[in-house]
Amino acid sequence: MFDDEQNKIEKFKNKIWLSSPTMHGEELEYMTRAYETNWMSTVGKNINDLEESFRNIIGVNASVAVSSGTSAIHLAVKLAGIKPGEKVFCSDVTFAASVNPIIYEKGEPIFIDSEYDTWNMDPNALKKAFELYPDTKYVILVHLYGTPAKVDEIKKICDDNGAILIEDSAESLGSTYKGKYTGSFGNYGIISFNGNKIITGSSGGMLLSDDEESIKRAKKWSTQSRDKAPWYHHTEIGYNYRMSNVVAGVALAQVKYLQDHIKEKNRIYESYKDGLKNLPVKVNPYDVENSEPNFWLSCMLIDNNAMSECKMMDCSGHYELESEKTCPLEILDTLFKFNTEGRPIWKPMHMQPIFNSSELVTKDGVLSKEEKDTSLGFDIFTRGLCLPSDIKMKPEEQEIIIEIINKCFE
């Protein structure tokens, strides 16, 4: 536990954020171009150039820039052909935006448990899910915190079962698996330019695919499904999803800094790994041999025997102070006292009230809601936390944060 009486660390004058936008100045030039050319709209050179940039970077044939990563997932769900009542397998430990588009189309999400090697979808649990529900034809895979999942295994399971793979790479832009960028493995890939991501447009996202005809259709949907006619003519329901030319300008200016940002995030990750090595914790793991994460968020998992008593209810939590032990909530509260932002691990979808009726499949089968929650996702959530990972955090500031965390175990 952290002893306020004995530790005289000074509070940070400027807040250390979890992950905030890192701007470079050129963003204003591209925004000004949109203004001066009067393309203050959802068409323009910035959008076209941004789409081309990511076709080249990710290595896909087609792309469409949209207003958010969520809208990109929704378009992918529609392109996949998910119908009301059809089951969709989805990563359990993720943000709700990965799942909500399934509900938009009245599909039925079934959550797939995680594994400890990458904290992503467990291929063994996915295999079990197909054994239980062999008619399912859709999978949404998330690369959590920028760490690539076990892509080869998951893709083979999808291929063996004739399932469409939607790859949610909102958090993993720039990450690679066996030298290939995430977002290029599935039938459809999604990236995000939200304000807290590795690069930002302030908002926005993009749908990627090698299927050019599908992307043309998604682009039409994203502009209210206007048909070619002298007047407004519609034969399909559409959406106001197209990206703004101004937002595209911000993201476009950031593209050349992607690798620089990844390098800085990697430095932050390695500093935590070294600074916490003498504690009973582990930083978020990845496949060192096959993957290169973007290290968007650095996280840690407390060993079971070092956990103090901690209860995490629906919207609040409670913990006991114990010598030589701590828990995620105590560490987060302590960091907050020093003007520093951390976060709990994303609360698994099967634990969310809105998805209370949805099933979770582990490698052993469907988890009964009457039994104790033995899922790996639940375990990672209760013992883990996201650490301050802001690129603008100075090395000496991170050293103080590491000192604070160490003192929580005294």
| Size of the chain, expressed as the number of residues it contains | 410
Does residue 4 carry a pLDDT above 80? no
Q: What is the pLDDT of residue 157?
A: 98
Does residue 141 carry a pLDDT above 90? yes
204-210: average pLDDT: 98
246-252: average pLDDT: 98
> Which is it for the CA torsion 97, 100, 104, 107, positive or negative?
positive
Does residue 177 carry a pLDDT above 80? yes
Q: Sketch out the chain's domains with CATH numbers.
A: 26-256 (3.40.640.10), 258-407 (3.90.1150.10)
Does residue 224 carry a pLDDT above 70? yes
* pLDDT tens string 95-138: 999 999 999 999 999 999 999 999 999 999 999 999 999 999 99
Does residue 7 carry a pLDDT above 80? no
Pairing, β 138-142 against β 87-91: parallel
Report the C-alpha gap between 259 and 248 in whole angstroms. 19
Please tell me the pTM assigned to this model: 0.96
Does residue 169 carry a pLDDT above 80? yes
Report how far Cα 130 is from the mean position of its chain's Cα atoms.
Answer: 24
Question: Partners of 65 in the beta sheet?
Answer: 206
* pLDDT tens string 335-369: 999 999 999 999 999 999 999 999 999 999 999 98
Phi, psi of 401 (to 5 degrees): -60, -45
- SS3 of 174, please? coil
> Residue type at 376?
L
The whole-chain average pLDDT of the chain stands at 96
Q: What are the tokens at 255?
A: 């593209």
Report how far Cα 15 is from the mean position of its chain's Cα atoms.
Answer: 23
